[in-house]
């Protein structure tokens, strides 16, 4: 522990009362805690607290990938790790500090000289660097975990900040378990560490044990009662044990906090930390007097990256980034959405980097959504055809949870439209092998005329498709090609399903045969007939 014989600061004013927070030099003039349309700093701790999620550990290159994406996202601070905790974490923080420009790179430390030295060593090469010191101040933690009394904790807090300040200008201090700390003692600690040089004081709700109204009172109390609070940024760090992390962070920002600590996808110890994407979108959507620097269009991408690298799946109904966050299934909702998007959407999916609203067709969907989807697929039906198609769809939806575009196309092709076979296969022949370029000859009948065409290709299927293209000039893009065995055994029937995009339309095709090349050709011809049917002028 740091030895410090100097007096404790808890009754004195800062030596240099005019000293402005470090951030003001970087971002703005004025007091962070009192600005109009105040910009809330986003402190991302995915790589530190988030990585403390059981099973979510990342290696140093993965941490670097996430940190680079966080910089693109526009976070103000990246807490890259807890350097003393392991050599791997030290290396990762160092790599991030050296490689990522823009945000402040922060390393966590206990109020211990060795921790502070190691944290500084890890971040010292960063363009902007910060040391974040934490020390518990609640009675429970002081008594059982640290076995120290209040005056010793206060002395340690002050001396550790003063020591860190000799290494680094930007110092954050966290009285751990602040929400369960005696308020009078908390105010003394906050005032003392600011006087000792802390530029940010973070108020953690370490165990997610406070209500929004009480947390608002706590932050307001610090702002009103700690006389030197204007010299630092008030930060908050809320855990989600009762699902209140985001709500608590938001009320804190509305009551004087200038920085919010959070994680992508809400990763973190136990039930996690307040989720960055939820906080940022809540600020953007609900609080006109607050703003952040986040490029919200990068949120979805960042969330996917973190999920992929940590292996932590995102629940489908997760706000902002879940697979269903912009999906609507009920008939009433889909009808509302088709009439006016804002009936059931308070944010635009594009604003968070999601491609678009999804109207999921299922058993709750109504006629309006069904008709709109068919129209998008290029099917315009007469009244009686629509009625028949809708009844077929409802029957299928009772058996199948989700109805995909391919299912609708199958209903259309098989039951409703009976697409005419303008293009018909007469014969095909291929020569292929590992040492020769595949060649295919195709004989087809197209609109009553007989054609025979030959082509080479990258493989026998490609050669066949190119030969057919010489007849009807599909010229499209093969989006998907799948082959599966319908029956078993060596002479199994193979079914090929393909999807082609051509001239602004997407169609699927299916073909079955014991010969997979023949199945592939049939699938292509099936798709081609649909394209011809949908674009009759061709
Ligand atoms: O939850 C907490 O109190 C922390 C501190 C280290 C800030 O993570
Ligand atoms: Zn935490």
For the CA of 174, the nearest atom of ligand 1: 7
DSSP annotation string for 213-261: HHHHHHHHHHHHH-TTGGGSEEEEEEB-TTS-HHHHHHHHHHTT--EEE
Residue 43 pairs in a beta bridge with 77, 261
- The residues, any chain, with a CB within 8 Å of residue 476's CB and separated by 6 or more, are 500, 501, 502, 503, 531
Q: Closest residue (by CA) to atom 5 of ligand 1? A: 176
Classified as helix, coil or strand, 465 is: helix
C-alpha 89/C-alpha 87 separation (Å) is 5
* CA quadruple 499, 502, 506, 508: dihedral sign: negative
For ligand 2, a single-atom ion, which residues have Cβ within 5 Å? 49
C-alpha 414/C-alpha 193 separation (Å) is 75
Q: Give pLDDT, residue 430.
A: 95
Q: Closest residue (by CA) to atom 1 of ligand 1? A: 206
- In the reported structure, the alpha carbon of residue 176 is separated from the centroid of ligand 1 by a whole-number distance in angstroms of 6
- In the reported structure, the alpha carbon of residue 213 is separated from the centroid of ligand 1 by a whole-number distance in angstroms of 21
In the chain, what is the straight-line distance between the N-terminal and C-terminal CA atoms, in Å?
82
Q: Which domains does the chain have, with CATH numbers?
A: 36-310 (3.20.20.70), 327-416 (no CATH), 423-532 (3.30.160.270)
Residue 527's H or E segment, with its range, is: helix 516-534
Of residues 366, 360, 328, the one with CA closest to residue 346: 328
237 Cβ closer than 6 Å to some ligand 1 atom: yes
Is the distance from CB of 134 to CB of 159 less than 8 angstroms?
A: no
Distance of CA 382 to the CA centre of its chain: 42
Q: Give pLDDT, residue 53.
A: 87
Quickly count helices (H) and strands (E) in the chain.
Answer: 17, 18
- The residues, any chain, with a CB within 8 Å of residue 141's CB and separated by 6 or more, are 176, 177
For the CA of 239, the nearest atom of ligand 1: 1
Residue 512 pairs in a beta bridge with 495
In tens digits, what is the pLDDT along the chain, a chain of 538 residues?
Answer: 444 444 344 433 344 434 333 333 333 444 444 446 799 999 999 999 999 888 888 999 999 999 999 999 999 999 999 999 999 999 999 999 999 999 999 999 999 999 999 999 999 999 999 999 999 999 999 999 999 999 999 999 999 999 999 999 999 999 999 999 999 999 999 999 999 999 999 999 999 999 999 999 999 999 999 999 999 999 999 999 999 999 999 999 999 999 999 999 999 999 999 999 999 999 999 998 999 999 999 999 999 999 999 999 999 999 999 989 999 988 899 899 999 999 999 999 999 999 877 888 988 899 998 998 888 777 788 899 899 999 989 988 888 777 877 778 778 877 787 778 899 999 999 999 989 999 999 999 999 999 999 999 999 999 999 999 999 887 778 888 988 776 666 667 778 888 888 877 777 888 888 889 999 999 999 889 888 876 544 3
235 Cβ closer than 6 Å to some ligand 1 atom: no
C-alpha 312/C-alpha 332 separation (Å) is 33
């Amino acid at each position: 522990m740091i030895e410090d014989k100097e007096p404790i600061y808890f009754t004195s004013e800062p030596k240099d009362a005019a000293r402005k927070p470090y951030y003001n030099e970087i971002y703005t003039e004025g007091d962070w805690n009192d600005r109009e349309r105040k910009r809330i700093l986003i402190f991302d701790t995915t790589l530190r607290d988030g990585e403390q999620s059981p099973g979510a550990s990342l290696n140093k290159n993965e941490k670097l990938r996430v940190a680079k994406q966080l910089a693109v996202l526009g976070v103000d601070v990246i807490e890259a790790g807890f350097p003393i905790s392991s050599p791997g974490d030290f290396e990762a923080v160092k790599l991030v500090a050296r490689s990522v420009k823009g945000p402040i790179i922060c390393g966590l430390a206990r109020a211990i000289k060795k921790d502070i030295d190691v944290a500084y060593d890890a971040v010292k090469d960063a363009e902007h660097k910060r040391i974040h010191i934490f020390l518990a101040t609640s009675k429970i933690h002081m008594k059982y975990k640290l076995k120290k009394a209040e005056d010793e904790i206060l002395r340690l807090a002050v001396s550790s900040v003063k020591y860190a300040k000799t290494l680094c200008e930007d110092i954050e201090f966290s009285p751990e378990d602040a929400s369960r700390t005696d308020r009078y003692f908390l105010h003394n600690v906050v005032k003392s560490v600011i006087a000792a040089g802390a530029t940010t004081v973070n108020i953690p709700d370490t165990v997610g044990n406070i209500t929004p109204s009480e947390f608002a009172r706590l932050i307001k109390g610090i702002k009103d009662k700690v006389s030197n609070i204007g010299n630092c940024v008030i930060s908050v760090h809320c855990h989600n044990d009762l699902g209140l992390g985001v709500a608590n962070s938001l009320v804190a920002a509305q009551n004087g906090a200038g920085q919010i600590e959070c994680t992508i996808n809400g990763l973190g110890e136990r039930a996690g930390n307040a989720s960055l994407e939820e906080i940022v979108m809540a600020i953007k959507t609900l609080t006109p007097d607050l703003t952040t620097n986040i490029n919200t269009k990068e949120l979805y991408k960042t969330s996917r990256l973190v999920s992929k690298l940590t292996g932590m799946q995102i629940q489908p109904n997760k706000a902002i980034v879940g697979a269903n966050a912009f999906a609507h299934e009920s008939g009433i909702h889909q009808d509302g959405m088709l009439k006016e998007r804002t009936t059931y959407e308070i944010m635009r999916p594009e604003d968070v980097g999601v491609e678009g609203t999804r109207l999921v067709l299922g058993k709750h969907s109504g006629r309006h959504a069904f008709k709109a989807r068919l129209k998008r697929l290029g099917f315009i039906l007469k009244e009686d055809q629509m009625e028949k198609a809708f009844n077929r769809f409802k029957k299928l939806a009772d058996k199948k949870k989700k109805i995909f575009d391919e299912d609708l196309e199958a209903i259309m092709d098989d039951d409703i439209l009976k697409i005419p076979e303008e293009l018909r296969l007469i014969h095909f022949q291929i020569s292929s092998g590992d040492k020769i370029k595949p060649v295919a000859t195709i004989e087809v009948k197209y609109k009553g005329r007989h054609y025979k065409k030959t082509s080479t290709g990258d493989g026998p299927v490609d050669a066949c498709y190119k030969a057919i293209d010489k007849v009807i000039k599909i010229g499209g893009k093969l989006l998907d090609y799948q082959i599966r065995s319908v029956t078993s055994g060596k002479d199994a029937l193979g079914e090929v399903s393909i999807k082609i995009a051509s001239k602004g339309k997407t169609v699927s095709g299916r073909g079955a045969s014991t010969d997979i090349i023949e199945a592939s050709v049939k699938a292509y011809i099936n798709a081609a007939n649909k394209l011809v049917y949908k674009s009759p002028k061709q």
